[in-house]
Every structure is written in structure tokens, then in C-alpha cells.
């Protein structure tokens, strides 16, 4: 067995053992490399309707700083999204089959037929991160301001008007989770803000059931409810996170995008 693969499985065994996963099977576990030689792949997102992964990467010696790549997980076909300036962020409205992409001058919609992006009349600001839950939430680069696009109008998220937010996510109970340089916070339905922990978060994502997950440089966590957080997996050099329709973890390292396929059907 490859030494790296053995070390990863050993780490997973130890970590998942703390999740009452004594009956979990590693027989079919594997780490699959999806993309390589992309500098700093970040802001991962999966469209479960088409099983397509989107991620940004950093450009060197170019007028643009970032580009977005699409990768069909069914056939491994991939390419760069055209028509977007400084593509960096992505999120999916699963119900209405809309992929939103964030660029240096606003928000775009991805066109599957042309593999290009069409700019929407929402904002002219540079987008840092986006998250869709009933409405389109997004944050502005450098400003740490959170907005929501609702009923044709973009406005600051009311609950977060007086605080900083660089990353944002919303759960099934409409609790708003956000992160800044001070850690992870939640604004609940009472509009009160609670500090969850001093996590240095580099990405939020959700699975097809709307459960919220986040990543730090060396761990993946799930948010159980309110301020309750559970560590899922410990890995090295995590830069971004997404979850595919089957519940597999897709994560990026410095120059690679990988998928961790793990049988955790007996976990609790």
C-alpha cells in the first residue's frame, strides 16, 4: 500500500473513531485526484444537478488574478469559464438549476451550453464568496461586508450590518453563520450574534440536505446546530471544500483538487 495513502487512512480511522464510527468500512475508501497543477485552487462548489465541480485558481504573470474552472465529474471533461472578469466565487441554486459565479465586477450566471458566464445586474463590486439558501448571499472583497439578493434587490444582510463577515452560510433553520479574522459566529432567529469558536475558516459548503460544513487548513467540520460543531476529518493543507451529491468530500490543496470517497454509512 502507498505510504501516503496508508497515513491518510490511519488518520481517518483515528478521527472517525471519535464519531462513533467503529463499524465504518475503509475497504472501498479512496482518494481520487480530480485536477492538478492549478495554483491555489479555492472556492469550490458542486452543482448536484449535473455533477459539475467549479473552482477558482490563481493566475501568474497575467492581467487577471483569478479564473474559474468547470469539471464534469461524470466524464472528467473540464475547461475554463469564459466571459467573466477575475472569476473567483461560485454557488448553486439547486432548485432552479442556476449556477452563480462571482467576478471582480459583479455576479454572473453560468451557461452550460456555451460554458461561458453572463453578467447579472446585481452589483458591480468584486465578489469574495457566495452562498445560496432560498436567496443569494455574497460578501465583498476586502470590505468584509455581507449582502443578500432578494426579490430583485441587493442589500446588506440586516443581522450583520454592524459586524464583519468575509464568509457566510445559511442553514435549514435560517441561522446565518459567518466568519472573519476573529473566528466563527452565528446569528440566530433572535438576531443575536454568538461566537462559536476561534476557527480560521477558509470555506463554507453544504450537502444536498442543507447541512453546513466548513474547512480550516487542517480539518473539516460539520455544524450540528446553533453553536455545536463536530470535527469530521483531519487532513493536511486544505484550501477549500465542497461536497458532491453522494456525500464525498472534495477538497483542494496548494495545487491539486482531490475527492475523498469514504463509506461512513454506519457512522453516527
Instruction: Report pLDDT digits (tens) over 177-215.
Output: 999 999 999 998 777 899 999 999 999 999 999 999 999
pLDDT greater at residue 267 or residue 165 = 165
Please give the grid coordinates belonging to residue 19.
Answer: 464519531
pLDDT greater at residue 233 or residue 53 = 53
Q: Inform me whether the pLDDT recorded for 29 exceeds 80.
A: no
Give yes or no for a contact between 259 and 220, defined as CB atoms under 8 angstroms apart.
Answer: no
Q: Inform me whether the pLDDT recorded for 160 exceeds 80.
A: yes
Picking from 15-29, 60-74, 84-98, 219-233, which range would have the lowest pLDDT averaged per residue? 15-29
Residue among 176, 171, 213 at smallest CA distance from 46? 213
The domain ranges of the chain are 3-263
Rounded to an integer, what distance in angstroms lies between the CA atom of residue 54 and that of residue 16?
28
Residue among 47, 59, 118, 130 at smallest CA distance from 90? 130
Please give the grid coordinates belonging to residue 122.
Answer: 446585481
Q: Inform me whether the pLDDT recorded for 11 exceeds 90.
A: no
Q: What confidence tier does 106 reach under pLDDT thresholds 50, 70, 90?
A: very high
Which strand ranges, in their side-by-side order, compose the sheet holding 193-197? 167-170, 176-180, 183-187, 193-197
Q: Averaged over 42-62, what is the pLDDT?
A: 92
What lies within 8 Å, CB to CB, of 246 at 6+ separation is none
CATH superfamily of 3-263: TolB, C-terminal domain (2.120.10.30)
Q: What confidence tier does 112 reach under pLDDT thresholds 50, 70, 90?
A: very high
Give yes or no for a contact between 110 and 117, defined as CB atoms under 8 angstroms apart.
Answer: yes
Rounded to an integer, what distance in angstroms lies between the CA atom of residue 19 and that of residue 9?
15
Q: What is the pLDDT of residue 264?
A: 53
Top mean pLDDT of 6-20, 49-63, 147-161 is at 147-161
pLDDT above 90 as % of the chain: 75
Amino acid at each position: 500500500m502507498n505510504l501516503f495513502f496508508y497515513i491518510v487512512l490511519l488518520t481517518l480511522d483515528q478521527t472517525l473513531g471519535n464519531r462513533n464510527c467503529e463499524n465504518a468500512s475503509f475497504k472501498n475508501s479512496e482518494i481520487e485526484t480530480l485536477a492538478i497543477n492549478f495554483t491555489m485552487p479555492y472556492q469550490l462548489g458542486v452543482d448536484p444537478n449535473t455533477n459539475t465541480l467549479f473552482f477558482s485558481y490563481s493566475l501568474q504573470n497575467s492581467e487577471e488574478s483569478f479564473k474559474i474552472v468547470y469539471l464534469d465529474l461524470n466524464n472528467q471533461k473540464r475547461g475554463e469559464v469564459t466571459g467573466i472578469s477575475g472569476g473567483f466565487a461560485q454557488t448553486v441554486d439547486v432548485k432552479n438549476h442556476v449556477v452563480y459565479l462571482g467576478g471582480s465586477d459583479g455576479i454572473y450566471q453560468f451557461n452550460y451550453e456555451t460554458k461561458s458566464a453572463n453578467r447579472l445586474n446585481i452589483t458591480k463590486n468584486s465578489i469574495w464568496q457566495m452562498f445560496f439558501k432560498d436567496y443569494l448571499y455574497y460578501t465583498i472583497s476586502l470590505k468584509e461586508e455581507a449582502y443578500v439578493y432578494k426579490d430583485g434587490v441587493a442589500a446588506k444582510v440586516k443581522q450583520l450590518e454592524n459586524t464583519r463577515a468575509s464568509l457566510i452560510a445559511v442553514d435549514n433553520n435560517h441561522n446565518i453563520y459567518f466568519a472573519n479574522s476573529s473566528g466563527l459566529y452565528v446569528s440566530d432567529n433572535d438576531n443575536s450574534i454568538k461566537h462559536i469558536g476561534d476557527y480560521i475558516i477558509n470555506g463554507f459548503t453544504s450537502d444536498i440536505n442543507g447541512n453546513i460544513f466548513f474547512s480550516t487548513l487542517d480539518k473539516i467540520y460539520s455544524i450540528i446546530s446553533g453553536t455545536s460543531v463536530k470535527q469530521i476529518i483531519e487532513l493536511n493543507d486544505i484550501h477549500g471544500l465542497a461536497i458532491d451529491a453522494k456525500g464525498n468530500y472534495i477538497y483542494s490543496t496548494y495545487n491539486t483538487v482531490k475527492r475523498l470517497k469514504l463509506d461512513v454509512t454506519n457512522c453516527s
